[in-house]
Amino acid sequence: MFTPVKNLTGTVDWWMIKVKDAISNIPPATLLNKCIFDNLYCNLIQRDLQQTLWLFPAGKCISFNDNLGGFDTRGLDLGVNYAVPMAGLGSLGFSFLELGS
């Protein structure tokens, strides 16, 4: 945390998270991309009578929980806070937070 002037504070936080043995489902967009570009997971995509995925309920991507192994994620969060004194009535605060990954 840093305070360059009175009533103004800021934070810069860098984070890295490693998840092992993750169990989740594969997002539909990933299933479609893997089928189109890598010819993988195509058996999990079902088309409707019009050969689409969106006109009728029969068109869908089948997604189930699976062991995805693990994944790493990291990011940088930036925050700025400013407080304006309100003449004996407390203060009015403004905050900005940018979450990055």
CA distances from 7 to 20, 83, 89 (A): 42, 5, 16
Give phi and psi for 50, each to the nearest 5: -95, 10
Cα 40 to Cα 98: distance, rounded to the nearest angstrom = 36
User: Residue 42 carries which DSSP code?
Assistant: G
User: For each of the chain's 101 residues, which pLDDT tens digit applies?
Assistant: 778 888 899 999 999 999 898 888 888 888 899 999 999 988 998 988 888 888 888 888 888 888 878 888 899 999 999 999 888 888 899 999 988 76
- Give the Cα separation of 50 and 83 in Å (integer): 59
pTM: 0.48
